[in-house]
Amino acid sequence: MVTILHTSQSGFTQEFGAIVQRGQDDLHSAEQIVLPLLEEIRTQGLEALLSQVARFDGFAPKDLADLVITQEECAKAYQNLDSTTKDALHIAYDRITAFHTKQKQKSWFDSDEHGSILGQIYTPIQRAGLYIPGGKAAYPSSVLMNAIPALVAGVREIIVCTPTPQGQANPLLLAALHICGIKEMYRVGGASAIGVFAYGLESSGKTLIPKVDVISGPGNVFVATAKKLVFGKVGIDMIAGPSEIAIIADSSANPAYIARDLLSQAEHDEMACSLLFTTSQKLAEEVASRIEELLPSLPKSAIANASIQNRGGIVVCKDIDEAITLCNELAPEHLELMFDDAFAHLPAIKNAGAIFVGENTPEAIGDYLAGPNHTLPTGGSAKFFSPLSVDTFMKKSSLIAFSQQGIDKLAEPCAHLAELEGLYAHKLSALVRKS
């Protein structure tokens, strides 16, 4: 049965608080498993990696060559696609590229009245590690969503890791890698892949895979935890764990749409979170009934059912404003708005990875080819993380070039501030340049 809660009922605050804490609890419980795996990769290199792949992915590679995915494999997979699939992937590639191209920022320079130049220089990172999920399912869309922003940014070295159960890579995933022109790819998944990205891979003192500068890509709770643990040694896009969707709807919303949209996230993972916030008790009951009718027919019904039972639910709210307040606290990965005058309420929505407005905009269209990125913050981290973007793969450097007139004008106040902080050499450094 789908759980239906009411904001007016006793104990709701505590129950909802537990949902809000979902991400923190998940990551904390996974740390004791992930930490030793990362340390093995860091200290034992290739030997540890081969052992971990054999342990988790069901095949026994003898050396690094057994983990390599070749460009020839990817090209063959692409050639074997039917025309409908090729067309769909290229439509997605073109739309995602067009959207992300608009994100790219340009370096800028400005001068003040003294002729001093200030500015900001944008440069791509040198090496990116892209994690592509491939455990319970393979996601060619994740290849496009991660590779395209890196390519648009101008990253020169892109390394892809993806889990391949029994050593078999999904042909659709390989085809997407071919479309993106990726050259370096490995059959490595989970925390092991994050360890390789963060520390590089060595054997007998020789570097086999260099460490990357930034890691991007979604994954399960172990991948998200590993990214959290290595952050600081490398950059990361965000903490992206199990999928989430929240829907705000009033009595005018279509229950058939809502039920399917909730299940679209539930079928990802048993730990996925699917929640409806509605002002209508009738809609709540209709959606719950539709979900129970649909569940047995889904190919992944066991996964979806576990998700709905343990992480899903419906919250009946007194009004739309209350629903928005709760969603802002939840900070969901995906937020669908299915109520009248939704655009007028957008300023009130503060925390969401991606917002889908109107009944004709299912979250699924964003997963594949709307254009914006589908790699989004989860577990409440939409309060401080943004979607994967071109910015993920770029960094900014400040530019400062003072003229003689400029340093003459500002040396004294600079020296004064340095003296206030007790930094005498700073003071001298500024004053010595006065003409």
- The answer on 226 and 193 residing in a single domain is yes
Is residue 389 one of the residues assigned to a domain?
A: no
pLDDT 10s digits, 158-206 = 999 999 999 999 999 999 999 999 999 999 999 999 999 999 999 999 9
| Residue range(s) defining the domain that contains residue 292 | 3-23+241-370
Number of folded domains in the chain?
3
Is residue 386 one of the residues assigned to a domain?
A: no
- The answer on 146 and 49 residing in a single domain is yes
Is residue 127 one of the residues assigned to a domain?
A: yes
Domain end (from 208, 236, 264): 236
Q: Is the pLDDT of residue 117 over 90?
A: yes
Q: Is 28 annotated as a binding residue?
A: no
Q: Is 334 annotated as a binding residue?
A: yes
Is residue 347 one of the residues assigned to a domain?
A: yes
Among the options 244, 333, 336, 363, which is catalytic? 333
Q: Which residues of 231-241 are buried (b: 16+ CB within 10 A; e: fewer)?
A: eeebbbbbbbb
- The answer on 193 and 159 residing in a single domain is yes
27 three-state secondary structure: helix
Question: What are residue 121's phi and psi, to 5 degrees?
Answer: -110, 125
Q: What is the pLDDT of residue 19?
A: 83
pLDDT 10s digits, 242-265 = 889 999 999 999 999 999 999 999
Q: What is the pLDDT of residue 151?
A: 98
Q: Is 6 annotated as a binding residue?
A: no
Is residue 378 one of the residues assigned to a domain?
A: no
- The answer on 207 and 95 residing in a single domain is yes
Is residue 86 one of the residues assigned to a domain?
A: yes
pLDDT 10s digits, 81-94 = 999 999 999 999 99
Is residue 382 one of the residues assigned to a domain?
A: no
Q: Is 73 annotated as a binding residue?
A: no
- The answer on 194 and 70 residing in a single domain is yes
292 vs 2: CA distance, rounded Å? 8
- The answer on 221 and 249 residing in a single domain is no
Domain end (from 190, 211, 236): 236
- The answer on 290 and 212 residing in a single domain is no
Establish whether 293 is a catalytic residue. no
Domain harbouring 301, CATH code: 3.40.50.1980
- The answer on 60 and 43 residing in a single domain is yes
- The answer on 325 and 407 residing in a single domain is no
How high does pLDDT run on average in the chain? Answer: 95
Is residue 246 one of the residues assigned to a domain?
A: yes
- The answer on 190 and 62 residing in a single domain is yes
- The answer on 166 and 305 residing in a single domain is no
pLDDT 10s digits, 28-80 = 888 999 999 999 999 999 999 999 999 999 999 999 999 999 999 999 999 99
The answer to whether 41 and 195 have CB atoms below 8 angstroms apart is: yes
Q: Is 243 annotated as a binding residue?
A: yes
The predicted model gives 402-416 an average pLDDT of: 97
Q: Is the pLDDT of residue 99 over 80?
A: yes
Domain end (from 204, 236, 268): 236
381 three-state secondary structure: helix
- The answer on 182 and 166 residing in a single domain is yes
Q: What is the pLDDT of residue 23?
A: 61
pLDDT 10s digits, 283-311 = 999 999 999 999 999 999 999 999 999 99
Among the options 334, 359, 363, 374, which is catalytic? 334
Closest CA to 333 of 216, 255, 238: 238
Establish whether 334 is a catalytic residue. yes
